Structure 1
Amino acid sequence: MKLRIITFTAMISALCAVGAMIKVPVGVTSAALDSAPAFLGAVFLPAPVAGIAAAIGHIVSAEIGGFPYGPFHILIAFEMYIVVWGFTKLHQKNHSILKWVYAIIANGILSPLPFYWLISPEMFYSVTPGILITTIINVVIAGFCMPVLSKAFARKEAHS
């Protein structure tokens, strides 16, 4: 793996960790601004690597929140990997609107769905609104930052 990709992955993972410390008060202790940097990783990371950065970001967020769902956080980290992997693929194919819709639906609604059966329907219904709100906040932050980051990255690539 190129040193540049490793460096960008570490940077995105670190930004996810910082975002994990900014909690969104929606009743879910691991709800935080940890996925906004991961979505931004779509600008300059391959899809699998952006997904890894997102998974790391979730694990840090869960740790800061005290791992309220115990080992289920491994599942959530895997879901974050899938969400950001798909988002990055859509970004790379220039699906400018679809990638944001996908991020909101996949992370805000589909990601909590396994907990309907794994824990209880009540748990699913109680956490999904908070997760959806937090996802929208993360997507809005990434949406505002991505055009600037894309331009800066394109400019740097042109000069390399």
Structure 2
Amino acid sequence: MNIRKMSLIALFIALSVIGAAIKIPAIIGSIALDVFPAILAGAFFGAVPGAIVGGFGHMVSALIGGMPLGPLHFIVAISMALLIYIFAKLFQHGKRTLAYIVFVLGNTFIAPLPFIFILDIAFYIALVPSLFVGSLLNVLIAWLMIPRLVTVFQGAYQRGEAKG
């Protein structure tokens, strides 16, 4: 991986940090705007860079929020990375609407499934509405920004070498 790629990934992780600092109160904890930079990175640069931004972005958001789930945030970061990876693969194959829907449903209902076994079903049920609102909000922001930024990032990250 070259310096330009690492710089672009770091830029989107920094955007996740900024988004993580913007908290909206929710039923459990708060909703952060830390995911939309990962969605943008997945759309512009591909599945692996998007997944890296998604995983690191969640960990930074959790650190800013005081790590309320402790080491369980590693499970969330892995699930976030996987969801962004799937989103980017669908997006790259022209299934953009499906990519957004899969991300929202996956982040709302599938990603928190391990917490049924680790904590209990009540935690899962209480978490789902907040995750739905947060996922939807992050996806809407990304959906609005992608068409406006595509010309900025077009060709910035192709075939392993960024144009410069």
Partner in structure 2 of residue 121 of structure 1: 121
- Give the letter aligned to residue 129 of structure 2: P
Q: Hey, what does 1:131 align to over in structure 2? A: 131
| Conserved 8 A contact 1:90-1:99 | yes
Q: How many residues align?
A: 159
Query: Is 1:13–2:18 an aligned residue pair?
Result: no
Once the two structures are overlaid, the 10-residue window that deviates more, 37-46 or 96-105, is 37-46
TM (norm. structure 2) is: 0.90
1:155, distance to aligned residue in structure 2 (A): 7.5
Q: Which residue of 2 aligns with 1:105?
A: 105
Match in the other structure for 1:46: 46
Give ranges in structure 2 of 5+ residues lacking alignment: 158-162
Judge conservation of contact 2:42–2:51 (CA < 8 Å) in 1.
no
**1:30 Cα offset (Å):** 5.3
Q: Distance in 2 between matches of 1:59 and 1:28?
A: 17
Say what the alpha-carbon RMSD is for the aligned residues.
Answer: 1.7
Match of 1:34 in 2: 34
Q: Which runs of 5+ in 1 are unaligned?
A: none
- Please show how residues 26-105 of structure 1 align to structure 2 within 5 Å: 26-29=26-29, 31-105=31-105
Q: TM (normalized to structure 1)?
A: 0.92
Share of identical aligned residues, percent? 33
Q: What's the counterpart of residue 160 of structure 2?
A: none
Query: Matched residue of 1:102: which SS?
Result: helix
